[in-house]
Amino acid sequence: PLARGEQAPWREYLHGEHTYRDQSVQYVTDGRSKYVWFSGDGTEQFFDLVTDPHELHDLARDERCTDEVALWRGRLMEALAGREEGFADGKALIPGRPVSPCLRSVFG
């Protein structure tokens, strides 16, 4: 729609992912904050991209960011809802699930 000059709703954040060895790396970002989740062991990372654009200072365990991390974790759970890997059940992210470099739903 935007290429045609039409109005379109703009998403609040972007979900991205890639596989790395035996796990999937999932992230959500709005360009100002970024939440990363490693599916193998459940490691979380959280970055303030405004003050740390190179993602050098992980704030995931910083007590001042607890609410923000929870917000972004919830956004990732929402993005992963119903996915074939079973990374989220609506209440939590589930580490240790098998990963595939290509989802069956993409190529049938």
Residue with tokens 């580490």: 95
Residue 4 lies in a domain: no
Count of domains for the chain: 1
Q: Which domain holds residue 68?
A: 10-99
- Does the residue 1 lie in any domain? no
Residues 55-107 have pLDDT tens digits of 999 999 999 999 999 999 999 999 999 888 999 998 999 999 988 776 676 66
pLDDT band at 108 (very low <50, low <70, confident <90, very high): low
- CATH number of domain containing 30: 3.30.1120.10
Q: What is the percent of the chain with per-residue pLDDT over 90, rounded to a whole number?
A: 70
Task: Give 61: exposed, middle or buried? Use CB within 10 Å, 0-12, 13-18, 19+.
Answer: exposed
pLDDT tens digits, one per residue of 71-80: 999 999 999 9
Residues in CB range of 38: below 8 A, 6 or more apart: 23, 24, 25, 26, 44, 95
Residue of higher predicted confidence among 6 and 59:
59
Say if 5 falls within a structural domain: no
pLDDT at 74: 98
How far is the C-alpha of 17 from the C-alpha of 26, rounded, in Å?
4
